[in-house]
Amino acid sequence: MKIFKFGGASVKDAESVKNVAKVLQSQGFEECLLVVSAMGKTTNALEKVVAYYFDEGDYNQEIRIIKQKHIEIAQNLFEAQHTVFDEISLFFDDIESFLRRNKSPNYNFVYDQVVSCGEMISSKILSEYLRSVGYDNDWLDARDYIKTDNTYREGVVNWEETEKNIAALDKKKSFVTQGFIGSDENNFTVTLGREGSDYSAAIFAYGLDAKAMTIWKDVPGVMTGDPRKFDNVSLLSHISYEEAIEMAYYGASVIHPKTLQPLKQKHIPFYVKSFLEPENAGTKVGVSDENQQIESYILKENQVLMRIATRDFSFIAEEHLSVIFKALAKHQIKISLMQNSAISLALCLEDKYGRIDTLKEELESEFNIELSKNVALFTVRNADVRELNKFYEGKNVLLEQISQKTIQIVIS
């Protein structure tokens, strides 16, 4: 089988949904499982519903707006008497009645039950639309296949069960299902983390021993840099799983980091292609001998640089490091880069939950701490070190680290 994943931007309106059919026309839809995200910015809108629900805001009004958007899209795709309209309404009724009856104070649990509806609805619309234009398919509820623990908003996949469920699918058919969601032991919905639909596609690819997986995007493929941030970027035609995971680690947002592991394990080739130009080759991610060693750039913004020094002029030793790492883990602050010298440690950090000041206070009982907020980590892969200077021009460099294939600088 082959796996296709269509993200939110590829189904953001009726025209885009029609374009999915065009992509299938050029690529074929035989023995294919199609994974789809919520339409456009629906996930953000549903997040707002949950926030309002807990803040006693008018969440019903938000639900009505989201519903209206989906109805409008459907009106441009189906005749007025099509059953899809009732099905769309049912999903929204379910959200409303769930919120009315819910007694759980667990934000993450409520979030998953509500926000997952974006994918339920988009997959329903897409499945029905494809059927109406002649692409026969079965609609699958991904929650019957992807089983997770109950870490709401960041579900951990139970691979054994998931693999068994997916392997039972009829490989001669074609399917449309949701990205981003699975379910726990009690069949409550669990999401896999924001932007998790790529991961869902990889899970299905793994379970089905797929011959290939393609992610359809609004860019030509994986580029040597984000075209919104860098000039003169070009398309990478081949990269290895390893290079792709490194790029994701350094902050390239085209590939969701968890996606690569299941694909690499079974050597399933993975393509990133443009849904606007489906005939173009795009990028192939595969085994390492195909890696193209081209200079590429990744900018990770909104970082914090923390310099930590001992108070008593002693070396930064194992005991110090263990105190520091424990504190970082406790506050869920991620290290993007680290460098140490005899008496100091420099950390470039990603502070997703705004806890950096608390961390600073805690560590200050033992160390001298200096913070630079709002810095960026600039990474160059496969760089030519002889041309290092060109990367420094016009930048205030706070830290640099050079290894065999990678130059990293922290800039403000």
Find the Cα–Cα–Cα–Cα dihedral 241, 209, 174, 93, rounded to 10°: -70
8 assigned ligand-binding residue: yes
286, interface contact from Mg ion, ligand ASP, none, CB < 5-8 Å by kind: none
User: Toward ligand ASP, which CB reaches closer, 45 or 304?
Assistant: 45
221 assigned ligand-binding residue: no
User: Toward Mg ion, which CB reaches closer, 35 or 375?
Assistant: 35
Looking at 81-211, list the stretches that DSSP marks H as alpha helix, in order from N- to C-terminal side. Answer: 84-101, 107-115, 117-132, 159-167, 197-207
228 assigned ligand-binding residue: yes
CB of 33 to ligand ASP, least distance (A): 16
Could you tell me if 11 and 20 are in contact, meaning their C-beta atoms sit under 8 angstroms apart? Answer: yes
Identify the sign of the CA torsion 84, 89, 94, 99: positive
**Beta pairing, strands 270-274 & 283-286:** antiparallel
Q: What are phi and psi of 267, to 5 degrees?
A: 50, 40
Could you tell me if 242 and 289 are in contact, meaning their C-beta atoms sit under 8 angstroms apart? Answer: no
CB of 48 to ligand ASP, least distance (A): 13
Give the per-residue contact string, 220-259, with Mg ion (x = CB under 5 A; - = no).
----------------------------------------
What's the half-sphere exposure (Cβ side, CA atoms, 13 Å) at 371?
A: 16
CB of 40 to ligand ASP, least distance (A): 9
Return the DSSP state at 157: B
CA 41 to chain centre: 14
Q: Is 8 in the site for Mg ion (CB under 5 A)?
A: yes
At 368 the three-state DSSP class reads: strand
Q: Which residue has the tokens 């089983």?
A: 147
User: Toward Mg ion, which CB reaches closer, 37 or 191?
Assistant: 37
CB of 46 to ligand ASP, least distance (A): 9
Using CA atoms, how far residue 108 sits from 193, 302, 355, in Å, is 11, 25, 19
217: part of which helix (H) or strand (E)? strand 212-217
282, interface contact from Mg ion, ligand ASP, none, CB < 5-8 Å by kind: none
43 assigned ligand-binding residue: yes
118, interface contact from Mg ion, ligand ASP, none, CB < 5-8 Å by kind: ligand ASP
CA 244 to chain centre: 14
189 assigned ligand-binding residue: no
CB of 120 to ligand ASP, least distance (A): 11
Binding site for ligand ASP (CB under 6 A): 7-8, 37-38, 43, 118, 179-180, 194-197
82, interface contact from Mg ion, ligand ASP, none, CB < 5-8 Å by kind: none
Work out which of 10, 16, 19, 37 binds Mg ion, going by CB under 5 A. 37
User: Toward ligand ASP, which CB reaches closer, 7 or 251?
Assistant: 7
At 105 the three-state DSSP class reads: coil
Q: Show binding-site residues.
A: 5-8, 43, 119, 228
Interface residues with Mg ion (CB under 5 A) are 8, 37
Q: Show binding-site residues for ATP.
A: 5-8, 228
